[in-house]
Amino acid sequence: MNIINVNMTEVIIIGTAAFTNVAVEPATFQSVMPYYQIRAESSTLSDVPLENVTRVHSIAEALPWLMEFNQVSHEAQNAADIQPFVSGLSDLFINNKYEIVNAIIEELDYSNMSVLSLVAVARSTFQAKNKLSSWTQAIGLIVGRLNALGLNHTKVLRGIV
């Protein structure tokens, strides 16, 4: 059985739990991708069999609802457009998967999001802002996008900023 050894440089997803800043040892794979999805739970990262590792380029590849949000976030105009994203984040919060949420908000491209999508990200993550190390940076990007659209971010994000 091949075992992966890890060091702290990338992101690994194990089941539904994410471990930020974890990477597979470069000698294990010819090219180290930013994210790995593990199909089996393990008590420690070093116990994960190599055959349980799937390389993905982004977290969205591992979470279909996030991929769907990424595809519509630039034009989202109603609740149906953002519902899978809000529901997916809610499920992660219910299961205390803050590391996954943190990785998601780091990966999102805020530069082309619609106002509704920006507000959905801000409001959906606000409840856990103290547990998300990337939240302040994400809100800064959201505020910047709202300002670029000519909107008053203080009014749009009332109660958040």
Per DSSP bridges, beta strands 35-38 and 23-24 are unpaired
- Percent of all residues in the chain with a pLDDT value above 70, rounded to a whole number: 65
Phi, psi torsion values for 85, nearest 5 degrees: -65, -50
**CA distances (Å), origin 27, targets 6, 7, 52, 58:** 11, 12, 17, 21
Q: What is the mean pLDDT of residues 76-91?
A: 95
Range ranked top by mean pLDDT from 2-6, 26-30, 49-53, 137-141: 137-141
pTM: 0.69
Q: Which residue ranges make up each domain of the chain?
A: 6-57, 61-156
